[in-house]
């Protein structure tokens, strides 16, 4: 047993299920490709062989037979090249699995040897993997034109740390690429392509993603006034969904007519902040007094109808589409939807967070006439290494629950000073000695200074405490 109270090896494997889920899925996909490729060639070769055997029946066709046989040999040759590429892929994936097993073997050995320093180092690489995962998922991508590969800060970090075999960044970057195109460039291209390549998985799950993506393309065509294109898209891509999504398609057809009026409508609807506040709190529209002239019956009818189209034209649809895509993508590879780094941080903060966190002692300090005493105490006694109190972590901790403690965890030799402050008596005495030694104070042998309010007490004032 080590003193870290860390989980066992198998638990670590389970925590890192994605390190094995992804390669396992990749192996299957690679096999699919291999198999399809073979099937295509196999059918073609069957035909070729049939022709060849007919040709061979007749001795007049010698020249043609040889040519046919040459064709066949060429096809087989091409097949061999293409298959061996896929087989190289297989070996790469298998090697990744092997490297990962080695990684956890290393942990197992450190744990069995109770090598705490080694374990901390191992956990640092573990943390780096989580950081890399987060950076790859969210980093902004840039294309390296020399090798035409996509890179981002996460991939740079992985390469600098030599972690390439432990994280499937190529898969994560694929998701990031589609996601960024959706959110930043409002470009559906990569998403539609992904949907086509993964349609079997999507239909199996009964996903709405394909329909929603196609609908979005239609809406964008309407938005940029390409009505002809929109109608064409509707007829070729959307009409086949008529039975499944009749309501959505009716609305979609409707915006073709009402689009312009919808735009005016949304301009009319620009609300003041006050109205928005009212709406968020009471969840209903504030009563508006319209000038009589606009209250024509025509207007009222129009208002009632147009609100239906709002959701279709909402810009948030892009965000929803992205979320829907990520859900499908991550579930395909059995990757957690939330960033693992955030999950670990949430659990870690809650395990650490005490009621004292974020209440720095520095706010309680009473300053001493000698600035040097203040500085010395501030730099040596006030700061805490508590990770939750760290200025970068504390804001993340705000809404998270506190740790649950069943026992007090205080310090040795607690003594109370007359002002009610309780300290470790030995440490308090040694602090006062050091202040004297630095020449900041002139305390007598039996005196101590309270570092918080700077009052001076005699050690005979110490009251031994019995906190349970």
- For the segment 85-104, give every residue that binds other proteins (CB under 8 A): 86-87, 90-91, 94, 97-98, 101, 104
Alpha carbons 434 and 426: distance in angstroms, whole number: 12
Q: Under a CB-based contact definition with an 8 Å cutoff, are residues 141 and 177 in contact?
A: yes
Can you spell out the DSSP letters for 165-204?
A: GGS-HHHHHHHHHHHHHHHTT---HHHHHHHHHTHHHHHH
Q: Under a CB-based contact definition with an 8 Å cutoff, are residues 466 and 429 in contact?
A: no
Can you spell out the DSSP letters for 426-438?
A: HHHHHHHHHHHHT
The reply to whether 56 sits near other proteins by the rule CB under 8 A is: yes
The reply to whether 31 sits near other proteins by the rule CB under 8 A is: yes
The reply to whether 467 sits near other proteins by the rule CB under 8 A is: yes
The reply to whether 437 sits near other proteins by the rule CB under 8 A is: no
Structure tokens at 1: 């047993």
Site string for other proteins, 108-137 (x = CB under 8 A): x--------x--x--xx-xx--xx--xx--
Site string for other proteins, 154-193 (x = CB under 8 A): --xx--xx--------------------------------
User: Around Cβ 421, how many Cβ atoms within 10 Å?
Assistant: 16
Residues numbered 380 to 409 that lie near other proteins (CB under 8 A) are 380-381, 383-390, 392-393, 395-396, 398-409
Between 27 and 192, name the residue whose CB sits nearer to other proteins.
27
The reply to whether 20 sits near other proteins by the rule CB under 8 A is: yes
Could you say which of 237, 261, 350, 413 contacts other proteins (CB under 8 A)?
Answer: 350
- Interacting residues of 340 by C-beta distance below 8 A, sequence separation 6+: 18, 130, 133, 134
Shortest Cβ 70–other proteins spacing (Å) = 7
Shortest Cβ 281–other proteins spacing (Å) = 20
The reply to whether 51 sits near other proteins by the rule CB under 8 A is: no
Instruction: Report the candidate in 101, 124, 108 with the shortest Cα–Cα distance to residue 2.
Output: 108
The reply to whether 248 sits near other proteins by the rule CB under 8 A is: no
Alpha carbons 262 and 255: distance in angstroms, whole number: 8
The reply to whether 206 sits near other proteins by the rule CB under 8 A is: no
Between 98 and 268, name the residue whose CB sits nearer to other proteins.
98
Phi, psi at 456, each rounded to 5°:
-105, 130
The reply to whether 279 sits near other proteins by the rule CB under 8 A is: no
Between 17 and 236, name the residue whose CB sits nearer to other proteins.
17
The reply to whether 420 sits near other proteins by the rule CB under 8 A is: yes
Shortest Cβ 443–other proteins spacing (Å) = 16
Alpha carbons 182 and 191: distance in angstroms, whole number: 8
């Amino acid at each position: 047993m080590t003193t870290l109270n860390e989980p066992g090896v198998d638990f670590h494997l389970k925590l890192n299920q994605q390190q094995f889920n992804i390669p396992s899925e990749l192996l299957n996909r690679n096999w699919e490709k291999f198999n399809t490729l073979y099937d295509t060639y196999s059918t073609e070769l069957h035909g070729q062989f049939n022709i060849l055997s007919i040709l061979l029946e007749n001795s007049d066709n010698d020249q043609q037979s040889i040519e046919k046989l040459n064709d066949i040999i060429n096809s087989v040759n091409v097949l061999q090249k293409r298959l061996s590429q896929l087989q190289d892929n297989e070996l790469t994936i298998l090697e990744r699995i092997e490297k990962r097993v080695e990684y956890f073997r290393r942990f197992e050995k450190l744990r069995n040897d109770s090598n705490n320093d080694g374990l901390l180092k191992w956990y640092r690489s573990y943390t780096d993997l989580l950081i890399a995962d987060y950076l790859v998922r969210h980093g902004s991508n840039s294309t390296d034109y020399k090798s035409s590969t996509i890179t981002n800060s996460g991939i740079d970090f992985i390469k600098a740390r030599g972690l390439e075999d432990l994280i499937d960044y190529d898969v994560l970057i694929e998701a990031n690429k589609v996601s960024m195109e959706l959110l930043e460039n409002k470009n559906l291209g990569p998403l539609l392509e992904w949907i086509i390549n993964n349609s079997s998985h999507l239909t199996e799950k009964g996903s709405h993603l394909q329909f929603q993506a196609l609908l979005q393309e239609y809406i964008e065509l309407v938005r940029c006034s390409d009505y002809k294109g929109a109608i064409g898209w509707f007829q070729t891509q959307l009409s086949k969904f008529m039975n499944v999504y009749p309501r959505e398609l009716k609305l979609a057809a409707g915006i073709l007519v009402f689009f312009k009026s919808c735009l005016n409508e949304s301009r009319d609807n620009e609300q003041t902040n006050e109205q928005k506040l009212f709406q968020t709190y009471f969840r209903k529209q504030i009563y508006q007094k319209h000038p009589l002239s606009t209250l024509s019956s025509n207007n009222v009818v129009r208002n009632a109808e147009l609100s239906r189209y709002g959701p279709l034209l909402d810009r948030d649809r892009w965000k929803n589409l992205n979320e829907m895509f990520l859900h499908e993508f991550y579930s395909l590879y059995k990757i957690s939807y939330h960033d693992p780094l955030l999950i670990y941080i949430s659990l870690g903060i809650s395990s650490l967070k005490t009621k004292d966190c974020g209440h720095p002692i520095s706010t309680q300090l009473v300053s001493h006439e000698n600035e040097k005493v203040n500085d010395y105490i501030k730099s040596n006694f006030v700061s805490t290494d508590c990770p939750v109190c760290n200025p970068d972590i504390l804001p993340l901790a705000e809404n998270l629950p506190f740790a649950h403690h069943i026992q007090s965890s205080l310090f040795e030799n607690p003594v109370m000073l007359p002002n009610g402050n309780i300290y470790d008596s030995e440490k308090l005495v040694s602090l006062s000695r050091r202040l004297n030694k630095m020449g900041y104070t002139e305390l007598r042998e039996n005196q101590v200074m309270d570092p918080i309010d700077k009052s001076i007490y005699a050690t005979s004032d110490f009251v031994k405490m019995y906190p349970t």
